[in-house]
Structure 1
Amino acid sequence: MPDTSSNHTPLPANIPVCPVRGSVIYPTMVQHIDASRAISIAAIDAAMHEDKVILIVSQRDKDVDDPQGADLYDVGTACSVLRVRKNADGTVQMLVSAIGRARVTRYTRSEYLRAEVTALESTPGKAVELQALTRELHSKFESLIQGGKFMSQEAVQTIQAKEDAGEMADFIAFNMDFKLEDKQGVLETTVLTDRIRRVLTLLDAESEVLSMQHKIRAQVKEEIDRNQREYYLREQMKVIQKELHGGDDGETDETEELKAKIEALGLSPEVKKEVDRELNRLSRMHPDAAEASVIRTYLTWITELPWSVRSDDQLDIQQAATILDEEHYGLEKVKDRVLEFLAVRQLRRDRAERGEIDAADVNKGPILVFTGPPGVGKTSIAQSIAKSLGRKYVRIALGGARDESDIRGHRRTYIGAMPGRIIQGLRSAGTKNPVVLLDEVDKLGSGYQGDPSAALLEVLDPAQNNNFTDHYLGVPFDLSEVMFIATANYPEQIPPALMDRMEVIDFSSYIEQEKLEIAKRYLLPRQLTQNGLKPNQITVTDAALERLISHYTREAGVRNLEREIGTVARKVARRIAGGEVKRVKVTDKELDRYLGQARYLPEHEAREDMAGVSTGMFYTPVGGDILFIETSVMPGRGLVLTGQLGDVMKESARAALTYAKTHGERFGIPKERIDESEIHVHVPAGAIPKEGPSAGGAMLTSIISALTGIPARRDVAMTGEITLTGRYLPIGGLKEKVLGARRAGIKHIIMPKANEGDLRDIPLHLRSSMRFHPAETADQVLDVALVGGLAALEARGTGGGGSKPKATRRKRGEDGAPATA
Structure 2
Amino acid sequence: GILFIDEIGELDNILQNKLLKVLEDKRVEFSSSYYDPDDENTPKYIKYLFDNGAPADFVLIGATTREPGELNPALRSRCTEVYFEPLSSKDIEKIVLNAANKLEVTLEDGVAELISRYTIEGRKAVNILTDAYGFALYSNKSNCKDSVQITLKDIEEVISIGRYVPFERNKDEKEYEVGHIYGLGVSGFLGSTLEIEAAVFTAKKKGAGTVRFNETAGSMAKDSVYNAASVIRKFTDKDIRDYDIHVNVVGGGKIDGPSAGAAITMCVISALLDKPLKQDIALTGEISLRGKVKPVGGIFEKIYGARRKGIKLVLVPKDNENEIPKGLKDIEVRAVGDIEELLSIVF
TM tier, smaller:
0.7 to 0.9
Which of 265, 287, 308 lines up with 1:700 in the alignment?
Answer: 265
**1:645 matched residue in structure 2:** 217
- Confirm whether residue 520 of structure 1 aligns to residue 97 of structure 2: yes
Change (3 A) 1:515 1:782: same
| Offset, 1:486 | 1.9
1:38-88 deviation digits (Å, cap 9, x = unpaired): xxxxxxxxxxxxxxxxxxxxxxxxxxxxxxxxxxxxxxxxxxxxxxxxxxx
Spell out the pairing of 1:272-287 with structure 2 (5 A cutoff). none
Question: Does the residue aligned with 2:81 lie in a helix, a strand or coil?
Answer: strand
CA distance in 1, matches of 2:83, 2:305: 20
Spell out the pairing of 1:163-242 with structure 2 (5 A cutoff). none
Structure 2 unaligned residues grouped into runs of 5+: 36-49
- Confirm whether residue 547 of structure 1 aligns to residue 108 of structure 2: no
Native 8 Å contact 1:643 1:682 kept in 2:
no
Change (3 A) 1:497 1:651: same
**1:196 matched residue in structure 2:** none
- Confirm whether residue 599 of structure 1 aligns to residue 198 of structure 2: no
Question: Does the residue aligned with 2:314 lie in a helix, a strand or coil?
Answer: strand
Which of 246, 270, 274 lines up with 1:680 in the alignment?
Answer: 246
Spell out the pairing of 1:69-84 with structure 2 (5 A cutoff). none
| Offset, 1:773 | 4.2
**1:568 matched residue in structure 2:** 132
CA distance in 2, matches of 1:594, 1:494: 37
Change (3 A) 1:481 1:602: same
Change (3 A) 1:657 1:585: same
Native 8 Å contact 1:568 1:595 kept in 2:
no
| Amino acid in structure 2 at the alignment position of 1:692 | G
CA distance in 1, matches of 2:141, 2:149: 16
Which of 781, 802, 808 lines up with 2:342 in the alignment?
Answer: 781
1:229-273 deviation digits (Å, cap 9, x = unpaired): xxxxxxxxxxxxxxxxxxxxxxxxxxxxxxxxxxxxxxxxxxxxx
CA distance in 1, matches of 2:215, 2:146: 51
Spell out the pairing of 1:203-352 with structure 2 (5 A cutoff). none
**1:500 matched residue in structure 2:** 77
- Confirm whether residue 453 of structure 1 aligns to residue 34 of structure 2: no
- Confirm whether residue 711 of structure 1 aligns to residue 276 of structure 2: yes
Native 8 Å contact 1:544 1:589 kept in 2:
no
CA distance in 1, matches of 2:80, 2:312: 38
Spell out the pairing of 1:402-441 with structure 2 (5 A cutoff). 433=1, 435-441=2-8
Change (3 A) 1:741 1:587: farther
Change (3 A) 1:754 1:478: same
Question: Does the residue aligned with 1:513 lie in a helix, a strand or coil?
Answer: helix
| Offset, 1:755 | 4.4
- Confirm whether residue 654 of structure 1 aligns to residue 218 of structure 2: no
| Amino acid in structure 1 at the alignment position of 2:261 | G
Identity of aligned residues (%): 25
Change (3 A) 1:453 1:756: closer
**2:183 matched residue in structure 1:** 616
Which of 44, 47, 56 lines up with 1:480 in the alignment?
Answer: 56
Structure 1 unaligned residues grouped into runs of 5+: 1-432, 787-821
Q: CA RMSD in A?
A: 3.1
Question: Does the residue aligned with 1:503 lie in a helix, a strand or coil?
Answer: coil
More helix per residue: 1
Native 8 Å contact 2:132 2:154 kept in 1:
no
Native 8 Å contact 1:643 1:685 kept in 2:
no
Native 8 Å contact 1:511 1:736 kept in 2:
no
**1:691 matched residue in structure 2:** 256
| Offset, 1:732 | 4.5
Change (3 A) 1:681 1:587: same
The higher relative CO (CA closer than 8 Å, separation ≥ 6) is in 2
CA distance in 2, matches of 1:591, 1:643: 37
Which of 704, 724, 732 lines up with 2:289 in the alignment?
Answer: 724
Q: TM-score, with normalisation over the residues of structure 2?
A: 0.78
1:111-170 deviation digits (Å, cap 9, x = unpaired): xxxxxxxxxxxxxxxxxxxxxxxxxxxxxxxxxxxxxxxxxxxxxxxxxxxxxxxxxxxx
1:521-553 deviation digits (Å, cap 9, x = unpaired): 4x445xx4xxxx4x2xx1235731111111x32
Native 8 Å contact 1:603 1:626 kept in 2:
no
Change (3 A) 1:644 1:608: farther
Larger Rg: 1
CA distance in 2, matches of 1:524, 1:458: 47
| Offset, 1:742 | 4.6
CA distance in 1, matches of 2:94, 2:299: 22
**1:631 matched residue in structure 2:** 198
Question: Does the residue aligned with 2:196 lie in a helix, a strand or coil?
Answer: strand
1:677-721 deviation digits (Å, cap 9, x = unpaired): 4432210111x4333333221111012222223232333322222
| Offset, 1:595 | 3.7
1:583-614 deviation digits (Å, cap 9, x = unpaired): 12334465224443763261413636343222
CA distance in 2, matches of 1:758, 1:585: 44
CA distance in 2, matches of 1:624, 1:496: 25
Spell out the pairing of 1:736-815 with structure 2 (5 A cutoff). 736-764=301-329, 766-767=330-331, 772-786=333-347
CA distance in 2, matches of 1:737, 1:620: 10
Question: Does the residue aligned with 2:155 lie in a helix, a strand or coil?
Answer: helix
| Offset, 1:503 | 2.3
| Offset, 1:778 | 0.8
User: What is the total number of aligned residue pairs between the two structures?
Assistant: 322
Native 8 Å contact 1:460 1:501 kept in 2:
no
Q: TM-score, with normalisation over the residues of structure 1?
A: 0.36
Native 8 Å contact 2:179 2:199 kept in 1:
yes
Question: Does the residue aligned with 1:689 lie in a helix, a strand or coil?
Answer: coil
1:191-215 deviation digits (Å, cap 9, x = unpaired): xxxxxxxxxxxxxxxxxxxxxxxxx
CA distance in 2, matches of 1:737, 1:621: 11
| Amino acid in structure 2 at the alignment position of 1:469 | E
Question: Does the residue aligned with 1:642 lie in a helix, a strand or coil?
Answer: coil
Native 8 Å contact 1:629 1:681 kept in 2:
yes
CA distance in 2, matches of 1:759, 1:500: 25
| Amino acid in structure 2 at the alignment position of 1:696 | G
Change (3 A) 1:629 1:544: same
CA distance in 2, matches of 1:649, 1:471: 54
Spell out the pairing of 1:32-111 with structure 2 (5 A cutoff). none
Question: Does the residue aligned with 1:517 lie in a helix, a strand or coil?
Answer: helix
